[in-house]
Amino acid sequence: SKGTYEFYMLKEIDEQPSVMRKISQTYFDENGAVKVDPQIINSISKADRIYIYAAGTSYHAGLVGKTLLEHYTGIPTEVGLASEAGYHFPMMSKNPFFIFLTQSGETADSRVVLKEVNKRNIPSLTITNVEGSTLSREADYTMLLEAGPEIAVASTKAYTAQIAVQAVLAKALGEALNKEEAKNWNLKHDLAIAAEGMQQLVDSKEKLKEIADKYLINSRNAFYIGRGIDYAVALEGALKLKEVSYIQTEGFAAAELKHGTISLIEKGTPVIALINDPATADLTRGNIQEVVSRGANIITIVGKDFARESDDVVLPEINYYMSALLTVVPAQLLAYYASKDKGLDVDKPRNLAKSVTVE
Ligand code: M6R
Protein backbone atom coordinates (compact mmCIF):
# COMPACT_ATOMS: atom_id res chain seq x y z
CA SER A 1 0.00 0.00 0.00
CA LYS A 2 0.99 3.62 -0.41
CA GLY A 3 0.78 4.26 3.33
CA THR A 4 1.22 7.97 3.92
CA TYR A 5 2.53 8.58 0.42
CA GLU A 6 0.42 10.44 -2.12
CA PHE A 7 2.04 8.50 -4.97
CA TYR A 8 3.85 5.19 -5.32
CA MET A 9 6.64 6.84 -7.31
CA LEU A 10 7.96 8.72 -4.28
CA LYS A 11 7.54 5.68 -2.04
CA GLU A 12 9.57 3.63 -4.50
CA ILE A 13 12.28 6.30 -4.79
CA ASP A 14 12.51 6.33 -0.99
CA GLU A 15 12.77 2.53 -0.85
CA GLN A 16 16.03 2.44 -2.82
CA PRO A 17 18.40 2.39 0.19
CA SER A 18 16.63 -0.68 1.55
CA VAL A 19 16.67 -2.33 -1.88
CA MET A 20 20.47 -1.92 -1.94
CA ARG A 21 20.68 -3.58 1.49
CA LYS A 22 18.39 -6.42 0.36
CA ILE A 23 20.56 -7.05 -2.72
CA SER A 24 23.65 -7.08 -0.52
CA GLN A 25 22.02 -9.63 1.84
CA THR A 26 20.86 -11.80 -1.05
CA TYR A 27 24.07 -11.87 -3.05
CA PHE A 28 26.77 -11.98 -0.35
CA ASP A 29 27.35 -14.82 2.12
CA GLU A 30 28.15 -14.45 5.82
CA ASN A 31 31.89 -14.27 5.04
CA GLY A 32 31.38 -11.36 2.72
CA ALA A 33 31.95 -13.42 -0.45
CA VAL A 34 29.83 -12.71 -3.49
CA LYS A 35 27.23 -15.42 -4.12
CA VAL A 36 25.83 -16.12 -7.59
CA ASP A 37 24.58 -19.50 -8.92
CA PRO A 38 27.82 -21.20 -10.09
CA GLN A 39 26.05 -22.51 -13.20
CA ILE A 40 25.46 -18.93 -14.33
CA ILE A 41 29.09 -17.98 -13.78
CA ASN A 42 30.30 -21.16 -15.47
CA SER A 43 28.14 -20.49 -18.51
CA ILE A 44 29.04 -16.80 -18.94
CA SER A 45 32.74 -17.35 -18.33
CA LYS A 46 32.83 -19.30 -21.61
CA ALA A 47 31.45 -16.32 -23.50
CA ASP A 48 33.63 -14.17 -25.73
CA ARG A 49 30.94 -11.47 -25.83
CA ILE A 50 27.92 -10.52 -23.74
CA TYR A 51 24.78 -9.13 -25.35
CA ILE A 52 22.36 -7.19 -23.14
CA TYR A 53 18.85 -6.60 -24.48
CA ALA A 54 16.09 -4.55 -22.88
CA ALA A 55 13.61 -1.71 -23.34
CA GLY A 56 13.09 1.74 -21.82
CA THR A 57 14.57 2.22 -18.38
CA SER A 58 15.91 -1.34 -18.33
CA TYR A 59 17.87 -0.54 -21.52
CA HIS A 60 19.37 2.46 -19.72
CA ALA A 61 20.38 0.21 -16.82
CA GLY A 62 22.01 -2.06 -19.41
CA LEU A 63 24.17 0.81 -20.64
CA VAL A 64 25.58 1.15 -17.13
CA GLY A 65 25.89 -2.65 -16.89
CA LYS A 66 28.05 -2.71 -20.01
CA THR A 67 30.56 -0.38 -18.35
CA LEU A 68 30.59 -2.48 -15.17
CA LEU A 69 30.94 -5.80 -17.02
CA GLU A 70 33.68 -4.60 -19.34
CA HIS A 71 35.66 -2.93 -16.55
CA TYR A 72 35.49 -5.79 -14.04
CA THR A 73 35.45 -8.85 -16.34
CA GLY A 74 37.20 -7.76 -19.54
CA ILE A 75 34.45 -9.40 -21.65
CA PRO A 76 33.29 -7.12 -24.49
CA THR A 77 29.63 -6.28 -23.92
CA GLU A 78 27.04 -4.91 -26.31
CA VAL A 79 23.74 -3.34 -25.30
CA GLY A 80 20.79 -3.13 -27.63
CA LEU A 81 17.14 -2.18 -27.77
CA ALA A 82 15.12 -5.38 -27.84
CA SER A 83 12.61 -3.87 -30.24
CA GLU A 84 15.37 -3.32 -32.81
CA ALA A 85 16.90 -6.79 -32.54
CA GLY A 86 13.94 -9.14 -32.81
CA TYR A 87 13.67 -8.92 -36.58
CA HIS A 88 17.24 -7.87 -37.35
CA PHE A 89 19.25 -10.18 -35.18
CA PRO A 90 22.71 -8.79 -34.30
CA MET A 91 25.84 -10.37 -35.75
CA MET A 92 27.08 -12.92 -33.27
CA SER A 93 30.51 -13.65 -31.90
CA LYS A 94 31.54 -17.32 -31.66
CA ASN A 95 30.38 -17.80 -28.07
CA PRO A 96 27.71 -15.26 -27.22
CA PHE A 97 25.80 -15.02 -23.95
CA PHE A 98 22.56 -13.04 -23.70
CA ILE A 99 21.28 -11.06 -20.73
CA PHE A 100 17.71 -9.77 -20.63
CA LEU A 101 16.99 -6.94 -18.23
CA THR A 102 13.30 -6.58 -17.46
CA GLN A 103 11.54 -5.36 -14.36
CA SER A 104 8.26 -7.08 -15.25
CA GLY A 105 9.64 -10.07 -17.12
CA GLU A 106 6.76 -9.67 -19.59
CA THR A 107 7.98 -7.13 -22.15
CA ALA A 108 6.96 -8.38 -25.61
CA ASP A 109 9.89 -6.75 -27.42
CA SER A 110 12.36 -8.63 -25.21
CA ARG A 111 10.44 -11.89 -25.57
CA VAL A 112 10.86 -11.79 -29.35
CA VAL A 113 14.66 -11.55 -28.99
CA LEU A 114 14.74 -14.37 -26.43
CA LYS A 115 12.79 -16.61 -28.83
CA GLU A 116 15.47 -16.03 -31.48
CA VAL A 117 18.19 -16.69 -28.89
CA ASN A 118 16.56 -19.98 -27.92
CA LYS A 119 16.17 -21.03 -31.56
CA ARG A 120 19.94 -20.62 -31.91
CA ASN A 121 20.68 -22.47 -28.65
CA ILE A 122 22.51 -19.47 -27.18
CA PRO A 123 22.69 -19.44 -23.34
CA SER A 124 20.72 -16.70 -21.60
CA LEU A 125 20.03 -15.04 -18.27
CA THR A 126 17.01 -12.94 -17.33
CA ILE A 127 17.51 -10.34 -14.61
CA THR A 128 13.99 -9.51 -13.41
CA ASN A 129 11.93 -8.36 -10.48
CA VAL A 130 9.22 -10.98 -10.98
CA GLU A 131 9.87 -14.59 -10.09
CA GLY A 132 8.20 -16.98 -12.53
CA SER A 133 7.62 -14.25 -15.13
CA THR A 134 7.62 -15.22 -18.79
CA LEU A 135 11.16 -14.05 -19.59
CA SER A 136 12.40 -15.78 -16.46
CA ARG A 137 10.79 -19.07 -17.49
CA GLU A 138 11.98 -18.87 -21.08
CA ALA A 139 15.66 -18.09 -20.32
CA ASP A 140 18.18 -20.64 -19.03
CA TYR A 141 18.93 -18.72 -15.85
CA THR A 142 17.36 -16.03 -13.66
CA MET A 143 18.69 -13.50 -11.18
CA LEU A 144 16.10 -11.63 -9.13
CA LEU A 145 16.20 -7.90 -8.46
CA GLU A 146 14.75 -8.19 -4.95
CA ALA A 147 13.27 -4.70 -5.30
CA GLY A 148 9.74 -5.57 -4.08
CA PRO A 149 6.68 -4.74 -6.21
CA GLU A 150 7.06 -1.63 -8.36
CA ILE A 151 3.63 -0.08 -8.94
CA ALA A 152 4.30 3.38 -10.44
CA VAL A 153 4.50 3.28 -14.24
CA ALA A 154 7.80 5.18 -14.07
CA SER A 155 10.49 2.72 -13.07
CA THR A 156 12.80 3.90 -10.27
CA LYS A 157 13.90 1.27 -7.75
CA ALA A 158 14.02 -1.42 -10.45
CA TYR A 159 16.58 0.69 -12.34
CA THR A 160 18.95 0.99 -9.39
CA ALA A 161 18.36 -2.69 -8.52
CA GLN A 162 19.26 -3.67 -12.09
CA ILE A 163 22.53 -1.75 -11.83
CA ALA A 164 23.34 -3.30 -8.44
CA VAL A 165 22.59 -6.86 -9.64
CA GLN A 166 24.69 -6.35 -12.76
CA ALA A 167 27.48 -5.16 -10.44
CA VAL A 168 27.09 -8.40 -8.45
CA LEU A 169 27.34 -10.37 -11.68
CA ALA A 170 30.41 -8.40 -12.82
CA LYS A 171 32.11 -9.02 -9.46
CA ALA A 172 31.38 -12.77 -9.42
CA LEU A 173 32.31 -13.25 -13.05
CA GLY A 174 35.45 -11.11 -12.83
CA GLU A 175 36.62 -13.08 -9.78
CA ALA A 176 35.99 -16.38 -11.57
CA LEU A 177 38.05 -15.07 -14.48
CA ASN A 178 40.79 -14.04 -12.05
CA LYS A 179 40.61 -10.33 -12.92
CA GLU A 180 42.55 -8.10 -10.53
CA GLU A 181 39.97 -5.29 -10.80
CA ALA A 182 37.23 -7.67 -9.64
CA LYS A 183 39.27 -9.32 -6.89
CA ASN A 184 40.28 -5.95 -5.41
CA TRP A 185 36.75 -4.53 -5.59
CA ASN A 186 34.87 -4.27 -2.30
CA LEU A 187 31.40 -4.31 -3.82
CA LYS A 188 29.71 -5.07 -0.52
CA HIS A 189 31.20 -1.84 0.82
CA ASP A 190 30.16 0.06 -2.31
CA LEU A 191 26.57 -1.16 -1.94
CA ALA A 192 26.55 0.06 1.67
CA ILE A 193 27.95 3.43 0.50
CA ALA A 194 25.26 3.56 -2.18
CA ALA A 195 22.52 2.86 0.39
CA GLU A 196 23.82 5.59 2.70
CA GLY A 197 24.25 8.05 -0.14
CA MET A 198 20.74 7.39 -1.45
CA GLN A 199 19.39 7.98 2.03
CA GLN A 200 21.11 11.37 2.21
CA LEU A 201 19.71 12.28 -1.19
CA VAL A 202 16.13 11.29 -0.43
CA ASP A 203 16.37 13.10 2.89
CA SER A 204 17.21 16.32 1.05
CA LYS A 205 14.36 16.01 -1.48
CA GLU A 206 13.02 19.51 -0.69
CA LYS A 207 15.95 21.01 -2.58
CA LEU A 208 14.96 19.10 -5.72
CA LYS A 209 11.34 20.20 -5.33
CA GLU A 210 12.52 23.83 -5.25
CA ILE A 211 14.62 23.33 -8.38
CA ALA A 212 11.75 21.60 -10.20
CA ASP A 213 9.34 24.39 -9.26
CA LYS A 214 11.78 27.15 -10.21
CA TYR A 215 13.21 25.81 -13.46
CA LEU A 216 11.12 22.95 -14.84
CA ILE A 217 7.37 23.15 -14.33
CA ASN A 218 6.86 26.16 -16.61
CA SER A 219 9.17 24.89 -19.30
CA ARG A 220 8.13 23.16 -22.51
CA ASN A 221 11.43 21.38 -22.96
CA ALA A 222 14.64 20.44 -21.16
CA PHE A 223 17.97 18.69 -21.71
CA TYR A 224 20.11 16.30 -19.72
CA ILE A 225 23.82 16.13 -20.54
CA GLY A 226 26.69 13.95 -19.33
CA ARG A 227 29.64 11.86 -20.47
CA GLY A 228 30.52 8.22 -19.84
CA ILE A 229 28.25 6.71 -17.18
CA ASP A 230 26.70 10.17 -16.78
CA TYR A 231 25.56 9.97 -20.41
CA ALA A 232 23.71 6.74 -19.64
CA VAL A 233 22.11 8.42 -16.62
CA ALA A 234 21.27 11.48 -18.77
CA LEU A 235 19.19 9.21 -21.01
CA GLU A 236 17.38 7.78 -17.98
CA GLY A 237 16.90 11.22 -16.37
CA ALA A 238 15.37 12.49 -19.61
CA LEU A 239 13.01 9.51 -19.96
CA LYS A 240 11.91 9.89 -16.34
CA LEU A 241 11.23 13.62 -16.64
CA LYS A 242 9.37 13.44 -19.96
CA GLU A 243 7.22 10.41 -19.18
CA VAL A 244 5.75 11.79 -15.96
CA SER A 245 5.84 15.58 -16.48
CA TYR A 246 5.24 15.80 -20.28
CA ILE A 247 8.15 18.26 -20.54
CA GLN A 248 9.89 17.23 -23.74
CA THR A 249 13.35 16.21 -22.57
CA GLU A 250 16.34 14.82 -24.40
CA GLY A 251 19.41 13.16 -22.95
CA PHE A 252 22.66 13.97 -24.72
CA ALA A 253 26.33 13.13 -24.62
CA ALA A 254 27.57 16.49 -23.30
CA ALA A 255 29.87 17.23 -26.24
CA GLU A 256 27.25 16.34 -28.87
CA LEU A 257 25.03 19.37 -28.23
CA LYS A 258 27.44 21.62 -30.08
CA HIS A 259 27.12 19.39 -33.16
CA GLY A 260 23.59 20.60 -33.78
CA THR A 261 21.15 20.54 -30.92
CA ILE A 262 22.62 23.61 -29.20
CA SER A 263 20.52 25.63 -31.67
CA LEU A 264 17.49 24.69 -29.53
CA ILE A 265 18.88 26.40 -26.43
CA GLU A 266 17.05 29.65 -25.69
CA LYS A 267 16.86 31.98 -22.74
CA GLY A 268 15.56 29.91 -19.84
CA THR A 269 15.90 26.42 -21.39
CA PRO A 270 16.67 24.09 -18.49
CA VAL A 271 19.83 22.00 -18.95
CA ILE A 272 20.62 19.44 -16.29
CA ALA A 273 24.31 18.50 -16.33
CA LEU A 274 25.72 15.39 -14.62
CA ILE A 275 29.41 15.20 -13.61
CA ASN A 276 31.07 12.17 -12.00
CA ASP A 277 33.75 11.12 -14.45
CA PRO A 278 37.24 12.35 -13.46
CA ALA A 279 38.46 11.95 -17.05
CA THR A 280 35.90 14.37 -18.49
CA ALA A 281 34.69 16.62 -15.64
CA ASP A 282 36.50 19.73 -16.89
CA LEU A 283 35.30 19.17 -20.44
CA THR A 284 31.69 18.95 -19.27
CA ARG A 285 32.14 22.20 -17.30
CA GLY A 286 33.18 23.70 -20.64
CA ASN A 287 30.01 22.38 -22.30
CA ILE A 288 28.01 23.95 -19.46
CA GLN A 289 29.59 27.32 -20.27
CA GLU A 290 28.52 26.92 -23.90
CA VAL A 291 24.84 26.54 -22.96
CA VAL A 292 24.94 29.15 -20.20
CA SER A 293 26.27 31.73 -22.66
CA ARG A 294 23.20 30.98 -24.83
CA GLY A 295 20.88 31.68 -21.93
CA ALA A 296 20.24 28.19 -20.51
CA ASN A 297 19.24 27.72 -16.89
CA ILE A 298 21.76 25.20 -15.69
CA ILE A 299 21.15 22.61 -12.97
CA THR A 300 24.29 20.68 -12.00
CA ILE A 301 24.28 17.28 -10.27
CA VAL A 302 27.89 16.50 -9.43
CA GLY A 303 30.06 14.07 -7.51
CA LYS A 304 31.66 15.42 -4.33
CA ASP A 305 35.08 15.79 -5.96
CA PHE A 306 33.66 17.90 -8.76
CA ALA A 307 31.61 20.40 -6.74
CA ARG A 308 32.53 23.95 -7.68
CA GLU A 309 29.49 26.23 -7.68
CA SER A 310 27.36 27.09 -4.64
CA ASP A 311 24.19 25.80 -6.32
CA ASP A 312 25.64 22.42 -7.40
CA VAL A 313 23.52 19.49 -6.22
CA VAL A 314 26.36 17.52 -4.61
CA LEU A 315 26.35 13.71 -4.52
CA PRO A 316 27.99 11.76 -1.69
CA GLU A 317 31.31 10.18 -2.65
CA ILE A 318 31.20 6.79 -4.41
CA ASN A 319 33.23 4.59 -6.80
CA TYR A 320 32.75 6.08 -10.30
CA TYR A 321 31.55 2.71 -11.65
CA MET A 322 28.71 2.76 -9.12
CA SER A 323 27.94 6.48 -9.47
CA ALA A 324 24.72 5.98 -11.48
CA LEU A 325 23.13 4.61 -8.30
CA LEU A 326 23.42 8.08 -6.74
CA THR A 327 23.22 10.39 -9.76
CA VAL A 328 19.84 9.03 -10.78
CA VAL A 329 18.15 9.81 -7.44
CA PRO A 330 18.02 13.63 -7.86
CA ALA A 331 16.92 13.01 -11.46
CA GLN A 332 14.05 10.80 -10.25
CA LEU A 333 13.07 13.43 -7.67
CA LEU A 334 13.10 16.23 -10.25
CA ALA A 335 10.76 14.17 -12.44
CA TYR A 336 8.49 13.37 -9.51
CA TYR A 337 8.11 16.98 -8.36
CA ALA A 338 7.79 18.36 -11.89
CA SER A 339 4.85 15.99 -12.44
CA LYS A 340 3.23 16.40 -9.04
CA ASP A 341 3.56 20.19 -8.97
CA LYS A 342 1.98 20.40 -12.41
CA GLY A 343 -0.98 18.59 -10.87
CA LEU A 344 -0.53 15.42 -12.96
CA ASP A 345 -1.23 11.81 -12.06
CA VAL A 346 2.38 10.91 -11.26
CA ASP A 347 1.82 7.16 -11.05
CA LYS A 348 -0.26 6.81 -14.21
CA PRO A 349 1.02 9.11 -16.96
CA ARG A 350 -1.26 9.32 -20.00
CA ASN A 351 -0.93 6.72 -22.78
CA LEU A 352 1.32 4.41 -20.76
CA ALA A 353 0.98 0.98 -19.15
CA LYS A 354 3.20 -0.58 -16.48
CA SER A 355 4.19 -3.50 -18.62
CA VAL A 356 4.22 -3.36 -22.38
CA THR A 357 3.02 -6.71 -23.69
CA VAL A 358 2.55 -5.68 -27.32
CA GLU A 359 5.25 -5.15 -29.95
O1 M6R B 1 9.40 -4.45 -17.44
P2 M6R B 1 10.53 -3.92 -18.28
O3 M6R B 1 11.71 -3.52 -17.50
O4 M6R B 1 10.91 -4.88 -19.40
O5 M6R B 1 9.95 -2.62 -18.96
C6 M6R B 1 10.68 -1.88 -19.88
C7 M6R B 1 10.01 -0.56 -20.17
O8 M6R B 1 8.71 -0.73 -20.66
C9 M6R B 1 9.98 0.36 -18.92
O10 M6R B 1 11.25 0.55 -18.40
C11 M6R B 1 9.36 1.71 -19.27
O12 M6R B 1 10.23 2.40 -20.14
C13 M6R B 1 9.07 2.58 -18.04
N14 M6R B 1 7.90 3.36 -18.30
C15 M6R B 1 10.20 3.52 -17.70
O16 M6R B 1 9.92 4.29 -16.58
> What is the ipTM metric for this complex?
0.98
Q: Are 43 and 60 in contact (CB under 8 A)?
A: no
Q: How far is 349 from 359, CA to CA, in rounded Å?
A: 20
Q: Which amino acid, residue 344?
A: L
Mutate to test the pocket of ligand 1, among 81, 138, 155 (most ligand atoms within 8 A of CB): 155
What confidence tens digit (pLDDT) does each residue in 298-355 have?
999 999 999 998 899 999 999 999 999 999 999 999 999 999 999 999 999 999 989 8
Q: Considering all CA atoms of the chain, what is the largest pairwise distance in Å, rounded to the nearest integer?
A: 56
CA–centroid distance, residue 30 to ligand 1 (Å): 34
CA–centroid distance, residue 105 to ligand 1 (Å): 10
CA–centroid distance, residue 353 to ligand 1 (Å): 9
pLDDT at position 355, please?
Answer: 87
Is the confidence at residue 1, as pLDDT, over 90? no
- Phi–psi pair at 92, nearest 5 degrees: -100, 145
Confidence of residue 144 (pLDDT cuts 50, 70, 90): very high
φ/ψ region of 48 (left if φ > 0, alpha if ψ in -120 to 50, else beta) reads alpha
Is the confidence at residue 146, as pLDDT, over 90? yes
For the segment 35-40, the average pLDDT, to the nearest whole number, is: 98
Q: How far is 129 from 150, CA to CA, in rounded Å?
A: 9
Atom of ligand 1 nearest to the CA of 128: 3
In the β-sheet with 297-303, what is the strand arrangement from edge to edge?
248-253, 221-226, 270-275, 297-303, 313-315
Q: How far is 212 from 190, CA to CA, in rounded Å?
A: 29
What confidence tens digit (pLDDT) does each residue in 158-175 have?
999 999 999 999 999 999
Confidence of residue 81 (pLDDT cuts 50, 70, 90): very high
Atom of ligand 1 nearest to the CA of 356: 8
Handedness of CA 68, 73, 77, 82 (dihedral sign): negative
Listed in order, strand segments (DSSP E) in the chain are 49-54, 77-81, 96-102, 124-128, 141-144, 221-226, 248-253, 270-275, 297-303, 313-315
- Phi–psi pair at 161, nearest 5 degrees: -65, -40
Query: Among candidates 317, 221, 301, which has minimal Cα distance to 261?
Result: 221
pLDDT at position 280, please?
Answer: 97
- pTM, two decimals, is 0.98
Q: How far is 9 from 14, CA to CA, in rounded Å?
A: 9
- 3-state class (DSSP) for residue 178: coil
Atom of ligand 1 nearest to the CA of 107: 4
pLDDT at position 267, please?
Answer: 96
Does the CB atom of residue 355 touch ligand 1 within 6 A? yes
Active site residue 354: yes
Mutate to test the pocket of ligand 1, among 7, 57, 128, 347 (most ligand atoms within 8 A of CB): 57
- 3-state class (DSSP) for residue 313: strand
Atom of ligand 1 nearest to the CA of 162: 3
For the segment 67-89, the average pLDDT, to the nearest whole number, is: 97
**Residue among 188, 304, 342, 354 flagged as catalytic:** 354
Query: Among candidates 32, 3, 352, 330, which has minimal Cα distance to 171?
Result: 32
